[in-house]
Structure 1
Amino acid sequence: MKIIDISQKLHHGTPVWPGDTPYSFQLNWTKEQTGSVNVGQLTMSTHTGTHIDAPYHFDHNGKKVADLPLERFIGPALVVNVSGKTSIGAEDVQHLDLTEISKLLLKTSSWENKSEFPSEITFLQEDLAPYLMQQGVDLIGVDVPSVDPIDSKNLPAHHSIENSHIQILEGIVLDEVEEGIYDLIALPLPLTEADGCPVRAILIDRT
């Protein structure tokens, strides 16, 4: 069994949405102070690095992170290379065999320099989620910070995905991952009030 980490590493300087809370880690207590342990403090946005979006992020009546079913974040995933496309719609995935797949991970390769927040990304079209719901897909993952264009305010893809009862996983790292079927694990913390949550996303290579 081979485990592939598809999470962004979090550190001072991890790019975040312009104006959002930057990532920060500091020791509040040191081993010298306590006599036994170091104790750190994290400060960051709920949408830092590799993360999931809860519907509450863009819908006041949407579910929050702790309300989401955990089985949506575990299961067979298909990684597909869609590099070079401006956007991804239903027609771009209709050739795929999704018979035994519940998660679809899209390798757009449109966020080339991950040390800087991108100004443009490959985004998802509104017709993609309804099609994937019909095929039994319950999670969409992308290697960019959002499923919508960076400057979008009405977030059509987010709302289409929510209406299709599909979960959103953003900011995964697929640079070195080949196309194929894997087992995905990307569990969020049980945050009862949160609109999103960074995750440690991994793929298990079945071969």
Structure 2
Amino acid sequence: MGKLIDVSMPLSSTVPIWPGDTLFAYELTWTKEESGSVNVGQITMSTHTGTHIDAPFHFDSQGERVLELDLDLYAGTALVVDVSGRDCVRPEDLESERLDGTQRVLLKTNSWKDRSVFPVRIACLHESLAPYLFEKGVRLIGVDVPSVDPLDSKELPAHHALHGKGIHILEGLVLDDIEPGKYHLMALPLPLKEGDGSPVRAVLSR
């Protein structure tokens, strides 16, 4: 395995969050001076802060929780595909790519320009992409935006279409400086037994 490339959003008080969601906060509950031996901190955050995975339970009350997901989905060969300039990614946007046998596809949309603020508009995935990816053998789709659906969507057609085909979702990747091509991905979720999602430390290597 080559050098690891971090493609995660740093977590701090400045990380942009979904409007109305839980602010990220880290604070020391014990200082070394108070405890006599160690600093101990606590974190408050949404499960969908920064770079994260969605468990099906996020949008389907009967769906799998984080701890029930197959970890193999989140580690292995991944193909980074540049789809910059599309408002909504459709099957025809990927027809020139050799997806057959590729289980993990990461889409570089370049539509979140300023990660210091939550975006107003992003490139989304069209629901017709789900059956196309399924036919190619894709089991995980990753994006460099907060959602696979439009930010104002309540129906979440892409989420449901992907779930219907058994394709899992990784969101909030930082792919700005990543060239298209094959990599090894590792983006393991935390073992949250009841979780609807989980932050991940996503890394690529060649």
With the length of structure 2 as denominator, give the TM-score of the two structures: 0.98
Aligned length: 205
Q: Find the counterpart in structure 1 of residue 82 from structure 2.
A: 81
Once superposed, which parts of structure 1, at least 4 consecutive aligned residues long, lie more than 3 Å away?
A: none
Shift of 1:3: 1.1
Whether the 8 Å contact between 2:130 and 2:165 is mirrored in structure 1 is yes
RMSD, aligned CA: 0.7
1:175 aligns with 2:173: no
In structure 2, the partner of 1:203 is: 204
Give the TM-score of the pair, scaled to structure 1. Answer: 0.98
Identity of aligned residues (%): 58
Give the Å deviation of 1:100.
4.0
Deviation at 1:99, TM superposition (A): 3.0
Q: Deviations over 1:121-166 (max 9, x none)?
A: 0000011111111111110000000000000000000000100101
1:105 counterpart = 2:106 = yes
Aligned counterpart, 2:145: 144
Q: Are residue 37 (structure 1) and residue 41 (structure 2) matched?
A: no
Residue number in structure 2 paired with 1:62: 63
Bigger shift: residues 156-165 or 91-100: 91-100
Letter in 1 for 2:179: E
Q: What is the letter of the counterpart of residue 114 of structure 2?
A: N
Partner letter of residue 69 of structure 1? D
What is the rounded CA distance, in whole Å, between the counterparts of 2:56 and 2:144 in structure 1? 19
Question: 1:10 is matched with which residue?
Answer: 11
5+ long unaligned stretches in structure 2: none
Distance 1:115 1:6 in 2: 16
Q: CA–CA distance in 2 between the matches of 1:13 and 1:95?
A: 38
What code does the residue aligned with 2:41 have? G
Residues 71 and 188 in structure 2, CA contact (< 8 A), matched pair in contact too: yes
